[in-house]
């Protein structure tokens, strides 16, 4: 069965510092991995995805994520956080054999000025 | 740009009412999804549809039904609303494409059942 874990409910980081939001997954086949961001009272916006190939994926707003097959992780990173990055972040996985996406419980990122 | 719209941003209904949530996408996507979002639980899939008139149950279909009569429109129906269905409802669409299709989300409907 597919599953996604976001072990941190909240991450606090100072503006200008690097940030990491963690995600681990479990699928039976090859994973398709996604990160989405949600601002208050809004729907989810796509940030980036991993299909295959290069383990480092670059996305919108300066975010990137690293796929690590041995650790079954897909952590979201950004070299220098902005206050405007404060939002709720969701990791999602889809097994290549299904239509279903499984979302994590979300991590609230707070960037402090 | 893909646009997914939902009929209402906020909705207040009474217990026992029949509730319709509408979702429309303008990118000719084959797949459409309904999720509910609750704090601490993330997004949970209620139903999805991969073609007109086709539907599949998600993880929490009880108390809900769906309708997809046209490709661009996917409706979620609460047959008899209950207070435990108070939640944020998110619609999404995607196209199979390369197989790692990106989901595009609507702005959400915050439903309160009194």
Question: A69-100: per-residue pLDDT in tens?
Answer: 999 999 999 999 999 999 999 999 987 777 78
Give chain A positions within 8 Å (CB) of B99. Answer: 32, 51, 96
Positions in chain A short of pLDDT 70: none
Distance CA A12, CA A83 (A): 11
Distance CA A64, CA B89 (A): 28
pLDDT level of residue B98 (50, 70, 90 thresholds):
low
Q: What is the DSSP code string of B32-89? A: EEEEEEETTTEEEEEEEEEETTEEEE-S--TTEEEEEEETTEEEEEESS--GGG-EEE
B6-25 residues touching A, CB cutoff 8 A:
9
Give chain B positions within 8 Å (CB) of A49. Answer: 100, 102
* Per-residue model confidence (pLDDT) at position B27: 87
Mean pLDDT of B13-40: 94
* Per-residue model confidence (pLDDT) at position B55: 93
Strand (E) or helix (H) holding B98 = none
B31-90 residues touching A, CB cutoff 8 A:
31, 33, 35, 40-45, 48, 50, 56, 58, 90
Is the CB of A101 less than 8 angstroms away from the CB of B45? yes
Distance CA B16, CA B93 (A): 29
Mutate which of A36, A43, A46, A103 to test chain B, going by most B C-beta atoms within 10 A? A43
pLDDT tens digits, one per residue of B71-97: 999 999 999 999 999 999 999 998 876
Q: How far is B50 from chain A (nearest CA, A)?
A: 8
pLDDT level of residue B5 (50, 70, 90 thresholds):
very high
């Amino acid at each position: 069965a597919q599953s996604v874990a976001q072990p941190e409910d909240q991450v606090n980081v100072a503006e200008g510092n690097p940030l990491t939001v963690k995600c681990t997954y479990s699928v039976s086949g090859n994973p398709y991995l996604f990160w989405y961001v949600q601002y208050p009272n809004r729907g989810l916006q796509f940030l980036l995805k991993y299909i295959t190939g290069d383990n480092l994926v670059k996305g919108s707003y300066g975010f990137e994520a690293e796929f690590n097959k041995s650790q079954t992780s897909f952590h979201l990173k950004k070299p220098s956080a902005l206050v405007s990055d404060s939002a709720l972040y969701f990791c999602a996985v889809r097994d290549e054999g299904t239509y279903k996406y499984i979302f994590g419980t979300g991590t609230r990122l707070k960037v402090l000025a | 740009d893909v646009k997914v719209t939902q009929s209402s941003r906020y909705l207040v209904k009474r217990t026992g009412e029949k509730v319709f949530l509408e979702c429309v996408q303008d990118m000719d996507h084959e797949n459409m999804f309904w999720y509910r979002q609750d704090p601490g639980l993330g997004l949970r899939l209620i139903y999805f549809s991969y073609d007109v008139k086709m539907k599949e149950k998600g993880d929490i279909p009880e108390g809900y039904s769906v309708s997809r009569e046209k490709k661009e429109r996917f409706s979620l129906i609460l047959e008899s609303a209950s207070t435990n269905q108070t939640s944020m409802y998110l619609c999404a669409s995607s196209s199979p494409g390369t197989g790692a299709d990106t989901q595009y989300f609507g702005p959400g409907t915050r439903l309160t059942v009194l």
